[in-house]
Amino acid sequence: MTTTPEPPVRDVSDMTSAPPGGSGVRVVDGDHLLSLRAITKDFGPVQALKRVDLDIPAGQVTALIGDNGAGKSVLIKTISGIYPPSSGQIFWKSREVHAHAPRDSSELGIATVYQDLALCDNLDIVQNMYLGREETKFGQLDEIKMELATKDLLKDLAVSTVKSVRQLVSSLSGGQRQAIAVARAVMRDSELVIMDEPTAALGVSQTAQVLQLVRRLADRGIAVILISHNLNDVFSVADRIAVMHLGTLVSQGPISNYDTASAVEMITTGASSRVPSTPPVVN
Amino acid sequence: MSTSIEDHAPHQSGGDVAIGVVKQFRRLWQGDSGLGPILIGLFALVIYFQIRNSVFLSAGNITNLFIQSTIFILLGMAEIWVLLMGDIDLSIGFSAGIGGAIAVILTSSQHHWPFWIALPLALVGCTIISIIFGTIVIRLRLPSFIVTLAGQIGLAGVLLFLIDSQGNSGGSLPVQEKVLYNLVNGNFTPVTTWIMIMAAVGLLSLFILRSDRRRRAAGLGDKPFWLAIVKVVLLIGAGIGLALIFNTNRSTFTTLNGMPFAIPIDVGVLAVGTYILTKTKIGRYIYAIGGNSEAARRAGINVNRYRLMAFAFSGFTTGVAGLLYVSRLNGISTGIEGGTYVLYAVAAAVIGGTSLFGGRGKMIHAVIGGLVIAIIDNGMALINVSASGLEMVTALVLLAAVVVDALARRGSTANG
């Protein structure tokens, strides 16, 4: 496809960054897009995250699973810059970064699609896709350029159920809205897309469509973190699994290491008799 | 699975055209512009009043109607800027009065300021007033209703003070400057009227055809070409009709003809407002903030900045309304009903189809709503209905507009 936007050269020189291995031990290898090392997050006396180590490779779907209160949401909010970690390191493409605000992480190329999707109902699909970064020509909105690019991208992602890209978002179904929110993340050249329960409110066929879309993101080389309670979804779309239990990351690895029974066991008890748990990295 | 993001076939059969016409009509009726029901209501009113009194559609009365509606239209457009964000501004009636008073006082025989300083100063004054209230609403996160209600009361006092400060005025100050007087009362010559109207029609037609051609060239020809042609033909017809009406002699004693200066002022404010709302980032962000301010914030939009801008645009438009108000009444008096004018401005916007909850509305809504209010006003007077009847009918029309709008909108979500 000719329409894939070229990833722009990112200037991260303004971000606080340390050269890999510059300060003491080099703790991450270069294969992972995002690596967390010993991430801890305290809310007063409550420890929401306890020394979490997580690796997210590019081009793969990593399912983040765990029971309510296991720390999944806090973890993704830490990654997306909403909650800066209390301690620990975040490496983006092997360079340490400090994301203090959502803006920092989105400048790195991290997009988060929350459950409420953050779309404007009174605007159409094109207007929502470009909200905040409209194309202009002589100070005037370049509607044709934006509409063509939106059409191309939706075609590329095989989002085929919308009648017209000039449709108001208020007239879309839940699955279509999810697709638009995800497509918007792709349009912004995101390299990591975090999705929080994308199929929670959807019917069967719409769930299938969204999962296909998740798969296509990974096929484009985008890393996806998928939070889901639905193990059927997880096993049908994920490449890797990371299990959280009471603020610790108890296990992570390729999906072939797990089956539904062991996953459920780990979600509920934090360990499985069948899968060896990953020991925490000790620095 | 076939992709359904499709373009229309380049050539259509007769049946397709018929379906297209129905589709476009439905779009007009309940679609994004939502002007269908209110236009039909407007025509019904016109026909009714014309049957009851044949003077109604005389050239003189139609011109008069445009002048009568000017204050509602301009204040309505001022109100739409804030309504789009889900806010309301109750102070613009008296703010307009203050703008008018500034112009009247500065150009009076006492002060002798030239109009080209005094009139812009009046506009700046109104803009500053709106920026002050906007800042209070935005920075302190207060409801605009209460802040501007306080503003309404306070500005009424300021206006009294301004008028009383001019010595023994007896509660009213006359317009003593020719340009200010002529804003409403002056007319173009018939030839200039033709030139101006045809220039505006030509320019607009050019825009319509050019944007249609561009979309078609980019492969986005989703609207049939005949729609653009129909628009242009209607536009030319309306232009010729208006020119003929304006150029008919309106006086039985002397010759009084030509387009009033107020008309191009209205059209200019409408054009600039519509341009900002539809063609610039500012407009896009104002709609986004009105639709879902949290989504706008997460998209990286500086919500407070654009909200304040909308207040500023509202204030400027209020200033224009104030100038035309004093020009039409040939002065400013302490008896100005600033509170009532605001409510009529909101009514004009809502009758035209603007939502009180933000995110939905267009500048043209104020024009149509303002015309409807003026038509009722004017028509009821022509058929000798008392003031009590007039107000009750205005109320019914406002209510009907809201009901029809709500029903049409429900229909559109069900079909869409």
Interface test with B, best of A3, A105, A123 (most B CBs within 10 A): A123
Rounded Cα distance, B319 and B302, in Å: 26
Look at A161 and A259; give whichever has higher pLDDT. A259
- Residue range B146-187, pLDDT digits in tens: 999 999 999 999 999 999 888 877 788 888 888 999 898 889
Sheet containing A87-92: give its strands across. A46-57, A32-43, A87-92, A95-97
Please check whether residue B46 is in contact with residue B375, taking contact to mean a CB–CB distance below 8 angstroms.
yes
pLDDT band at A30 (very low <50, low <70, confident <90, very high): low
Which residue in the set B219, B290, B300 is minimally distant from A122, CB to CB?
Answer: B290
Rounded distance between C-alpha atoms, residue A41 and residue A45, angstroms: 10
Q: Which of B2, B3, B7 to mutate to test the interface with A (most CBs of A within 10 A)?
A: B3
Q: Give the per-residue pLDDT at B6.
A: 39
- Please list the helix, strand and coil fractions of chain A in percent, rounded to the nearest 5, in that order: 30, 25, 45
Contact A131 B214 (CB under 8 A): no
Asked whether the predicted pLDDT for residue A276 surpasses 70, the reply is no
Q: Which candidate from B4, B301, B359 shows the least CB-CB separation from A132?
A: B301
Q: What's the gap in Å between the CA of A191 and the closest CA on chain B?
A: 17
In A, which residues are within 8 Å of B414 by CB distance?
A: none
**B158 and B151 Cβ atoms separated by less than 8 Å:** no
As a whole-number percent, the residues of chain A with pLDDT over 70 amount to: 85
B218 to chain A: closest CA residue: A144
User: How high is the pLDDT of residue B139?
Assistant: 94
Q: How far is B288 from chain A (nearest CA, A)?
A: 6
Per-residue model confidence (pLDDT) at position B211: 87
Give the pLDDT score at B334: 86
Contact yes or no for B296 and A121 at CB 8 A: no
- Inter-chain contact B299–A118, Cβ cutoff 8 Å? yes
pLDDT of residue A183: 87
Say if the Cβ atoms of A148 and B218 lie within 8 Å. yes
Q: Is the pLDDT of residue A26 over 60?
A: no
CA–CA separation, A220 vs A158, rounded Å? 13
Residue A7, pLDDT > 80, answer no
CB-CB under 8 Å, B5 with A141: no
CA–CA min distance A131, chain B (Å): 6
CB contact under 8 A, B300 and A151: no
Q: So what's the pLDDT on residue B301?
A: 87
- Regions of chain B with pLDDT less than 70: 1-34, 221-222, 405, 408-416
Residue A123 reports pLDDT greater than 60: yes
- Helices B387-415 and B36-52 meet at what angle, rounded to 10? 150
From CA A116, how far away is CA A66, in angstroms rounded?
21
Q: In what order do the strands lie in the sheet with A223-227?
A: A110-113, A192-196, A223-227, A61-66, A240-245, A248-254
CB-based contact B4 A120, cutoff 8 Å: no
Helix, strand, or coil here: B391?
A: helix
Average pLDDT over chain A, rounded to an integer = 81
Measure CB to CB from residue A118 to each of B1, B294, B416 and give the nearest one: B294
Own/partner pairs, B26-31, CB within 8 angstroms, 24+ separation: B26/B415, B29/B408, B30/B408, B30/B409, B30/B411, B30/B412, B30/B415, B31/B412
CB pairs < 8 Å spanning A and B? 90
- Residues of B whose CB is below 8 A from A125: none
At B297 the pLDDT is 86
For an interface test with A, give the residue of B277, B292, B362, B413 to mutate (most A CBs within 10 A).
B292
Q: What are phi and psi of B297, to 5 degrees?
A: -65, -45
Residues of chain B neighbouring A140 (CB-CB closer than 8 A): 279-280
Q: Which residue has the higher pLDDT, B267 or A268?
A: B267
In this model, does residue A23 exceed pLDDT 70?
no
- What are the tens digits of pLDDT across the range A234-254? 999 999 999 999 888 888 889
State how far residue B293 is from chain A, nearest Cα, in angstroms.
Answer: 8
User: How do A61-66 and A223-227 pair as beta strands?
Assistant: parallel
User: Chain B: residue nearest A134 by CA?
Assistant: B281
What confidence score (pLDDT) does residue A70 get? 87
Residue A29: the pLDDT is: 53
More confident residue, A37 or B23: A37
Kindly determine whether residue B4 and residue A162, on different chains, have CB atoms separated by under 8 Å. yes
How many Å lie between the alpha carbon of B277 and the closest alpha carbon of chain A? 11
- Note whether A171 contacts B413, CB cutoff 8 Å: yes
Q: Which of B220, B290, B298 sits opposite A144 (nearest CB)?
A: B220
Beta strands in B2-70 (DSSP E): none
Residue B348: count of CB within 10 angstroms of its CB? 31
Q: Distance between CA atoms of B352 and B343, rounded to whole angstroms?
A: 14
Other Cβ atoms closer than 10 A to B358: 22
Please check whether residue A131 touches B, CB under 8 A. Answer: yes
